Amino acid sequence: MEQPNVRIMVVIIRENKLLLLKSKDSRNSDWLLPGGSVKCGKSIVESAQEDVWEETNLQIRIKRILMINESISPDKHRHVINIYFLGEILGGELKVGRSSILQDCKFLGLEEIEKIEIHPNIKKEIKEMIADGIYVEAKHQGNMWTDR
């Protein structure tokens, strides 16, 4: 069995709207939080800031950890640990990065979020974060694996 993949995702909320990226690859079209894998030799915070910059052209500051969840496939051959951070915009102008799998990036409100697919599916947690003014306690959510 391979080692788990550690992914970092950044929650950025502006005017009660969440920043999301639209991904398009050969398998599916999902909305995702900005972020990516931890880079060897870089801290989690540095990796998160770099990924957000590359994907959105925004400079951010990481404020704190919001939550952690895992995706473990039923046959145990794939294991992803997702660490979610709260980010604050420091500068830059929002625009989609150069990645061939990114189609769009924008801030979406709760009504819009209800109508889209977010991977992993954290819609309930997003609603709580926005409703509570992002002052929720950090928590471990357990296995979030879903077969699509």
Q: What is the DSSP letter of 118?
A: B
CATH of the domain at 66: 3.90.79.10
Range of the domain at 10: 5-142
Q: In which band, very low, low, confident or very high, does the pLDDT at 145 lie, cut at 50, 70 and 90? A: low
Query: For tokens 């910059």, what's the residue?
Result: 53
Burial label, 123 (beta-carbon count in 10 A; 0-12, 13-18, 19+): middle
Q: Pick from 47, 48, 55: which is nearest to 98 by CA?
A: 55
Is residue 121 in some structural domain? yes
pLDDT tens-digit series, residues 1-49 = 578 899 999 999 998 899 999 987 656 668 999 999 988 888 889 999 9
- Report the number of distinct structural domains present in the chain: 1
pLDDT tens-digit series, residues 74-132 = 998 989 999 999 999 999 999 998 777 899 999 999 889 888 888 888 888 888 777 77
Model pTM?
A: 0.84
Task: Say how far apart CA 114 and CA 127 lie, in whole Å.
Answer: 10
Is residue 147 in some structural domain? no
